[in-house]
Each structure stands twice: as C-alpha cells, then as structure tokens.
Amino acid sequence: MRFSSALLDGRGPVTAVGFRLMQRAALYTTSSTAAEARTTSHGSRSSTAAAAAASAPSAAGAASHAGIQLPRGFALSKATVANTDAATTHDAKSPLRPAPVAVVFGWMGAKTRHVHKTIEFYNAKGMDAISYMPTPRDVLQPDYGRAQLTKLLEHLNVTKNPAVFHCFSTGGYLYGQVLSLLQSPHTKHFHGVRDQVRGTVMDSVVDESGVRYGIPNALFPKAPMQRAIASLTVNFILNNFKTVDSALKHASESFHNTTIQAPSLWYYCRNDDIADHRIIEAVVAKWRARGLKCNEQFWEQSRHVSHAKVHPHIYFSALDAFIAESLALPNMAPDALARYCAAVSGSKDDAEKYLRTHSQDFQKELSHIKDSLIHESNKHSGHPHRHHHRVAPPAARAHA
C-alpha cells in the first residue's frame, strides 16, 4: 500500500475499535538491579493520554526486560498507561504470550530523548520499547557494532517477544547488520528471532552511500568546516580499511535482500539530502518482488528524521494502522490520536542544540576511531600503515 500525504492529513477517518493496553505487558518485570538507573527528562509534557503513558527510559545497561537484564548501551521504556483512554483487558480466550516489543534504532548523534515521542507511542500501545542510538563507532568499527547487536538478538531469542523494528536514518544500517547476523552460519543459535519480527518501520533510512555522506552531515548539520573535516576522516577510513568498507557493503546487501518475511512501513521525502528517495524506492521494489507487503508514506517536502514532528497526524495515523495490522493491536481512538499528535507538534526538540554543544566530542571520537584502526592495522601488519590505492569517492553532495 502506498500512501500520499493527502490520505492521512486529518480529512479522512481513522479506524477505531477502542484503544487498549494489553495486559500481556504484565509479563514484563520492572526490576532493575543496577545502581546507575536514572530517569531521563523528556522536556515539557502534555497531559494527553499517550504522552502521560510513557515511562522514562532506564539508563543504558541498568534495565531489565522480561526479568532479564538488557545489554549495556540499550535503554528501556516500559509500557504504562495513565488514564482510561488506553485501559481495557485482553481477550480472556487467548492464552497469554510474550507481549510485543518495539526495538527503536535512532540516527547518528541522537540521544534517546530525541526519539521519545515515538517511544511513548509504542508504550501507549502496551509495548515496551528497547532503544539504541548508533554512534560513529557502531559503523566505523563494525566488530563493535556487531557485538552490540548480537547481544540484542540473544536477548530477544531468550524473551521470545514478537518485535517491531523502528529505524531512523543510520539505524537502517544497524538493521542491515541485524539481517546479516540472522543469515550468518555462525549465529544459528538465535536465527529463530527471524520469526519473531512482525514488522519493520523505516524512517529516512540510508544505504551504504548514505552512511558515507550521512555521518558528517548528521553530526555537523550547521557547521560546514567541521562537516568537511569529518567527511575527510570518514572517507579516509572507508577508503583505507577494507574491513570497514566491506562491512558496510555486506549490511547493505543484507538489507536489500532481506530474509525477514514481515510487512514494512516506509517514511521518506523527496527533498532529503541524506536519505535518497530513489534508493529507498528501489529497495521497496526489491522487497515487493520478494512478496513482502510494503506501505509507503512519502512527502514532496519534509525533513530528514523529522517527519513525525512536521506531519504528526499523517505519521502516527499510518504507524497506528501498521501496528494494528502487524501485531493485531487495536487502533487508537481518533480523539486520543488527535491529542497525541497535538502534543508531538508542540513538543520541544533540542537535537540541533545537542549536536552543536557536542561537536568537539564527535570530532575527537572520529579521530580516535581512525587512530585505533591505524594502530590495529600496524599491529597486524608489522609495518606502518600504508594507504590502499583505491579510487576516491565522488564528491560529497550538497549538505553532506
């Protein structure tokens, strides 16, 4: 199904059969044994049901999900509800099964609070949300990124939760790594997770080329000089360390040729300098050719990873319908959805401010990654690092 922005702009009806909290979420325990557990502030909150429903994400490495401690680096936001907008009971005739969980992969440079409105939406649907925000290290030191994702998949394999993956920008690369791990002969012990994935949501996701250009642009959107320096560093790494470049290509290949038999929802716009809509549409065509159902919500004009903020009613109406279809959860009542979207529209967003205030930290991290790769290369080769003579990448696009 392919949506144009006119279909869900508020003029059409939103199907509603009530909005309920699945009591199956009670299977999740709220125990947390780590002393560093904290509450993350999400800024000003509306009194709407969905906004009030969310619990603050637990600190990385400090949360337990389904009675099992999450790997360090992952944050957990529990399914809760504040009033009767979402209060009901599950079907007593159906046996209790593990409640569904949302796995949210953010974009490069994001913090959990920057995707909290999406997380709150899942919490209000009766779903816990496990979130992970990618760093340059996850991409440019692929062994580290794979190790983190392996821990996540091992966790899901134990808890057996039906899962929806919601990926923003570089989070699409992480999902490609997930697919790669689920196809590897070395990870057969958690290949069953493939059957637990009930849906994927792709928001402004980038391909291999988008990662190359997207890291500098995502970290330094308003700083041309720093962006240029970061671009040189990233290109140096990708052009001189074949293992990094190979990991990107392999994740991209796994993404294009997914083995997950689940429906998907795609958000993108045609004026995005980072997530090329032509590549997204090509991947959608490949997935459809494999018999997969792909819903598209696109705009001629919007903002990279900010579609929910710019077009909240369209965004969350499509997401609500997708979750209802993929996980058999009831739709949100129209009035509750309208109040939630109003809260999203009026929420504060400090993502750009955060990037500005931490720009030096990002530059240091990129330099540290480059130095670490050079050190490892020298250690294994026994001689100073020499450049591999490879064709230089094409010039970065505008704003890249």
Res 23 pLDDT > 70 = no
Which of 46-60, 152-166, 383-397 has the highest average model confidence (pLDDT)? Answer: 152-166
139 vs 142: CA distance, rounded Å: 5
DSSP class of residue 44 equals S
What is the predicted pLDDT for the residue at 389?
40
201-222, pLDDT tens digit by residue? Answer: 999 999 887 777 888 888 888 7
What is the predicted pLDDT for the residue at 47?
37
What is the predicted pLDDT for the residue at 58?
55
Please tell me the CATH code under which domain 2-207+254-360 is placed. Answer: 3.40.50.1820
pLDDT, averaged across the chain: 78
Higher local confidence (pLDDT), 198 or 111: 198
Res 261 pLDDT > 90 = yes
CA distances, 51 to each of 83, 124, 137, 279 (Å):
11, 8, 32, 34
Tokens 């990037």, located at residue: 355
What is the predicted pLDDT for the residue at 375?
85
34 vs 61: CA distance, rounded Å: 8
What average pLDDT does range 1-7 have in this prediction? 45
